[in-house]
Amino acid sequence: MACNRRSIGKNPDLLKRSHVKRGSFLVMTGALQNSREIARLLMGVALTGIWRIASAPLRWPLAALQSQPQSLIYAPQDIRTADPTIAEDIYAGYFNFTGKIIKVDGQSPFEIVPPSVEWARRLHSFGWLRHLRAADTALSRMNARALVEDWLNLSPKFNHPLIWDPEVAARRLKAWLSQSPLILEGADNDFYRRFMRAVSQHMRFLRRRLAGGLAGLPRLVALLALTEAALCVDNMAGLQKAMSRTLMRELSRQIQRDGGHLSRNPRVLIELMLDLLPLRQLYIVRGLSPPDELQTTMDRILPMLRMFRHSNGELALFHGTGESGPDTLATLFAYEDTYGNPIMNADISGYQRAEAGESVLIMDTGAAPSSLYSSEAHASALSFEFSSGACKIITNCGAAERHRADFRAASRLTAAHSALVYAGHSSALFLNGALASSLGKRIIDGPRHVEVITQADPQGFTIRASHDGYRHARILHRRSLTLAPSGQQIIGLDEILPSKGQLSNLPLSSLRFHLDPATRAQRSNDPTRLQIVLADGNVWEFAIEHENPEIEESIVFADPSGPRRSLQIAVHTSAPEIRWSLTHLGALAEETPDQAQ
């Protein structure tokens, strides 16, 4: 099914059903494996809960014996982009998160009913304090302190579990530490003591959650916050050493040798680098040598981020990556000691990159992430993105904001990617229903085995890969993409192969190529060919053998202005083999005044 505005807006239920639809045969053959995966998830949650209860009597006395921070001696730098004009909006009572603007009208923002869970997460994480610091005025400093004091006054009344979600609490602690010069300048002793007690409270809470079995990305964020806090406050040398060791072990476990994260989400790497760079500087200003593992991790991540970056500076849209401005990537690379090159073959993380001329091709050639790290993962097996010069041509739809549940579910489907959709099914199955509310909409069944071969010859660079995400239908999808040495052409071959027996009576499948919103598509005289006109006036031709491609509506979710209408090329066919090409025809001729008339 197409990822288009009409179906999402008028029939969101259809989209929600489509990612669990397997057909009777698929459900019967895959049910046992899916049940086992769900059982493992539930067992992990149960064991974590048992451990938290059993270890509580041991953790509380230890927490009471820990030395308490009395003063703050350093503040880490926040290198995330800040906008001083947002400080004016906050002072005027306007809080804008996830596209929802709320005017508090003299109330504390922490007392109002939030418009969405994600809006509340942003508010209580306090990342917006950086905008007040960017304003650098006496008014913004007073406003920041007043808002933090509001939170401290109201915190005993908070009863929503989100407030003390470990990741939210860790982000809040990090924001308070990095913006402490803003918060504490001109503060009296009473406020200073309350602030330090709150810092100590957050540190104890995060330590308890870590000891209780906190896992996945929230564990890494909590360790980053605690390590930062131990470096920033006095009398914490022992905690700093312990947290540093634990953090380095967790980084080594979650960041793979090629620099990718276990979630396979490029956006996670950006967030980590925005945390790791200030942490490295914090070690230095404390007169400590940063751990070798910290520098090794950053040295791995930066080339991996370059792999995902198109020529126009935008990040490729895979596995949960939404809008990420080129300015953020430019900020990260500005801190790099030497200009590095992108990784071309990330076989551990499951990505391939090809470059020729001004063209860049990036392809997902990996298996589905493990369930623990798949809450934002997509059914994107063998999807690809392609750009030429400053223009993106073929894209994936990207991740929708968390607060848009209908869009978010749609954005994770195979139909929202430039890939093959077999018989209307996605290549991965997501957890749904009541369990998803507590465990998240994780992937419980998806590609497990992906074979990849790359080859360079005079005809160009070829990436050939196959995945078994449709194994319950006893078929494999194999895709071959060849980028010409000039970068002016891609030759593609998509095949549906039997994993057992022989193929017969193939159902209708859809080959989808989502176009960047800045491009437009138009028909040519030949029904097997379409023309794609880029924003810079260059024209590319899409051609396919023995099929008539269609131009259909689509949506790109990862746009700074929110979901944006776009187009896609769709090929609906029952053929087991689909040959296609994308070729640069040249620049669009400018109209003369006479022609314009």
The chain-wide mean pLDDT, for the chain, equals: 86
Structure-block tokens of residue 15:
């989209």
Q: Which CATH class is domain 5-27+354-586?
A: mainly beta
- Please determine, for residue 113, whether its predicted confidence score (pLDDT) is greater than 80: yes
Q: Is 429:448 a contact under the CB 8 Å cutoff?
A: no
pLDDT tens digits along 244-269? 999 999 999 999 999 999 999 999 99
Residues in CB range of 316: below 8 A, 6 or more apart: 266, 308, 309, 310, 362, 385, 396
- Please determine, for residue 189, whether its predicted confidence score (pLDDT) is greater than 90: yes
Rounded distance, CA 320 to CA 573, Å? 29
Torsion region of 98: left, alpha or beta (phi above 0 gives left; psi -120 to 50 gives alpha): left
Q: How would residue 67 be classed by pLDDT, with cut points 50, 70 and 90?
A: low
Strand partners, 391: 388
Q: How would residue 339 be classed by pLDDT, with cut points 50, 70 and 90?
A: low
Q: What is the pLDDT of residue 41?
A: 56
For the chain, the first-to-last Cα distance in angstroms comes to 41
Q: Torsions phi, psi of 150, nearest 5?
A: -55, -45
Structure-block tokens of residue 210:
């870590």
Structure-block tokens of residue 279:
């942490």
Rounded distance, CA 252 to CA 271, Å? 17
**Nearest partner of 545 among 512, 510, 573, 507, judged by Cα:** 573
Q: What is the pLDDT of residue 14?
A: 27
pLDDT tens digits along 137-177? 999 999 999 999 999 999 988 878 899 999 999 999 999 99
Structure-block tokens of residue 97:
């998160």
Calculate the dihedral angle through the C-alpha atoms of 194, 200, 202, 208, rounding to the nearest 10 degrees. Answer: -150
Q: What is the average pLDDT across 355-381? A: 96
In this structure, is the dihedral angle defined by the CA atoms of residues 557, 559, 561 and 567, taken in order, positive or negative?
negative
| Domains of the chain by residue range | 5-27+354-586, 68-227
95 CB burial (10 A radius; 0-12, 13-18, 19+)? buried
The pTM score is 0.87
Residues in CB range of 372: below 8 A, 6 or more apart: 44, 215, 216, 262, 442
Q: How would residue 34 be classed by pLDDT, with cut points 50, 70 and 90?
A: low
Q: What is the pLDDT of residue 8?
A: 32
Using only C-alpha atoms, the chain has a radius of gyration, in whole angstroms, of 26
Residues in CB range of 586: below 8 A, 6 or more apart: 538, 539
Q: What is the pLDDT of residue 4?
A: 36
- Please determine, for residue 225, whether its predicted confidence score (pLDDT) is greater than 90: yes
Strands 443-445 and 450-457: what pairing? unpaired
Q: How would residue 54 be classed by pLDDT, with cut points 50, 70 and 90?
A: low
Lowest mean pLDDT among 363-367, 375-379, 404-408: 404-408
Rounded distance, CA 421 to CA 188, Å? 62
pLDDT tens digits along 390-399? 999 999 999 9
- Please determine, for residue 370, whether its predicted confidence score (pLDDT) is greater than 60: yes
Q: Of 223-237, 309-323, 392-406, which one has max mean pLDDT?
A: 223-237
CA distances from 483 to 419, 459, 469, 512, 545 (A): 17, 8, 25, 19, 18
Report which of residues 546 and 436 the model is more confident about.
546
Q: Is 64:204 a contact under the CB 8 Å cutoff?
A: no
Rounded distance, CA 304 to CA 217, Å? 18
Q: Could you tell me how many residues make up the chain?
A: 597
- Please determine, for residue 86, whether its predicted confidence score (pLDDT) is greater than 70: yes
Q: What is the average pLDDT across 344-358? A: 96
Calculate the dihedral angle through the C-alpha atoms of 393, 396, 399, 405, rounding to the nearest 10 degrees. Answer: 120
DSSP-derived secondary structure for 481-504: EEE-TTSSEEEEEEEEEESSS---
Lowest mean pLDDT among 91-100, 324-333, 581-590: 324-333
In this structure, is the dihedral angle defined by the CA atoms of residues 333, 338, 343 and 344, taken in order, positive or negative?
positive
Q: How would residue 45 be classed by pLDDT, with cut points 50, 70 and 90?
A: low
Rounded distance, CA 471 to CA 499, Å? 7
DSSP state of 73: -
Rounded distance, CA 595 to CA 576, Å? 45
